[in-house]
Amino acid sequence: MDYEVLGLFMAVLLWVAWALITERRHRQLEELGRLPPGPRWWPVVGNIFQLGWSPHESFAKLARSHGPIMTLWLGSMSTVVISSQEVAREMFKNHDVVLAGRKIYEAMKGDHGNEGSLITAQYGPHWRMLRRLSTTEFFVTSRLDATRGVRERCIDRMVRFIEEAGACGSKPVDVGRFFFLMAFNLIGNLMFSKDLLDPKSESGAKFFFHAGKVMELAGKPNVADFLPVLRWVDPQGIRRKTQFHVERAFEIAGGFIVERMESMEKVETEDKDKRKDFLDVLLEFRGNGVEEPSKFSSRTINVIVFEMFTAGTDTTTSTLEWAMAELLHNPKTLKKVQSELRRTINLGEKLDERDIENLPYLKAVIKETLRLHPPLPFLVPHMAMDACKMLGYYIPKETQILVNVWAIGRDPKTWEDPLKFKPERFLEPNMRDYKGHHFEFIPFGSGRRMCPAVPLASRVLPLALGSLLLSFDWVLADGMKPDDMDMSERMGITLRKAVPLKVIPIPFKGGHFGD
């Protein structure tokens, strides 16, 4: 028999065997309990072909037919999708612990497990220690107040770079690129007290490159996640490529850590009371991981550093670029928020972080952007750590839980004119916040696995956006009209604009703030 024919015959046999195994598993789960309703699935592939290029939108459409809690099969991966505030409230109020696990995709699986990861570590004592560290050391009010100057300097530099790139209002700029560079340097300053992206930092530029590659790969659909039989093959090479770039980034971060430890040994005792950055805090917890298991290993510190960059840059960039796009798409709203800024801030002065509380419309613009364009439309996937029942439905152990916050934020049962960009809705008396208590508006999640960096984001987002709106008037490039803007989405690690926003910054004649 021809070897090619034999190979094809064996592939078909494997496919049929896998189809039978998958179907049997589906049936067994259905017999164990009443799963949430959902569309019919195909053998082996399940509902994968119903995902489309915008799964958050595809799932929202399916939810209209099958309900706000539904079961989908992504290959052999059982998935429950939540698409309403009522079900989200039930999940986070009454089932938060059992559903606090993490579904780990292949790209996230490192050779050393998930040691040190606040994002992907399973819920348990080690994760709780990491969480406690982030809330009491990194994102506590006193530390955020102490680093206010760091944020303002990074944003001031962004404004200057945009002014230079725009050549005094004659050239369009890609604002998303400048937002990303600002966010990356901000995390670099908070972690290491230095700009990582400047002409003198070759290692910083390399770290930036490898971190960007990891984010790019993490946003790609991976067939190995849906068909476990292919995991050992890694047919798209996503896990292999991701781990290559992760290891290179770890090597560079490790160099920063060694450099800091050597400098710490030279510091005189009286100088040790200087302001600590995040790396100083992490090094205080450093142990060898064996005799001192309660402390952090060097690997753990590397993971925390890397996650700070990947989690903090893309989400910030996505939100700020969408905010600028929506304002340019809605000129009356743009004029209104700029009027508020220019009435509140004296001519020639820069926006101070302490001014934000006196700028309710600016804050409402940020909230409205997060409602329409949450950076992570499904949050970070949850997982059932044990079987449970929710709203009368059976949720099997290891089921992936996706909370479609994109759909919840556009639910016409909750929001009037849900597709309209209308910041005024967040000026109403019962004003919603994004701290996880208003389940119709949870862009950062809720419960135990809620994003711990919300206090930082609530300062950076309005300050960065407000500084650009105060410093410049903005004109669409090539004579484009607001109604002609492409407002379509592109799914990656975050929900970005499909077409980058290019716009001309015209320095406001009231004067540009100084250094």
Going by the annotation, the residues of the binding site for heme are: 451
Residue 454 CB partners (closer than 8 Å, separation 6+) = 139, 434, 435, 444
Using an 8 Å Cβ cutoff, are 351 and 468 in contact? no
CA distance 254 to 80: 39
Single out the residue of 455, 442, 452 nearest to residue 414, CA to CA. 442
Chain-centre distance of CA 304, in angstroms? 15
List the end-to-end C-alpha distance of the chain, in Å, as a whole number: 77
Tokens of 350: 């820069």
Evaluate the CA torsion angle 135, 141, 146, 152 in order and state its sign.
positive
DSSP string spanning 451-483?
-TTHHHHHHHHHHHHHHHHHHEEEEEGGG--GG
Question: CA separation (Å) from 260 to 150, 298, 384?
Answer: 19, 13, 40
Beta bridge partners, 472, equal 507
Angle CA(100)–CA(101)–CA(103) in degrees, nearest 5?
135
Cite the annotated binding site by residue number. Answer: 451
Burial 43-72, CB ≥16 within 10 A → b, else e: ebbbbbebbeebbbbebbebbeebbbbbbb
Using an 8 Å Cβ cutoff, are 510 and 237 in contact? no
DSSP string spanning 80-139?
EEE-SHHHHHHHHHHSTTTT-EEPPPGGG-BTTBTTT-TTTSPSSHHHHHHHHHIIIIIS
Q: What does residue 382 show for φ and ψ, rounded to 5 degrees?
A: -90, 170
Q: Which helix (H) or strand (E) element contains residue 242? A: helix 238-266
CA distance 190 to 150: 8
CA distance 306 to 248: 11
Q: Which helix (H) or strand (E) element contains residue 284? A: helix 278-284
Q: What is the 3-state secondary structure (H, E, C) of 10-31?
A: HHHHHHHHHHHHHHHHHHHHHH
Q: Which helix (H) or strand (E) element contains residue 73? A: strand 69-74
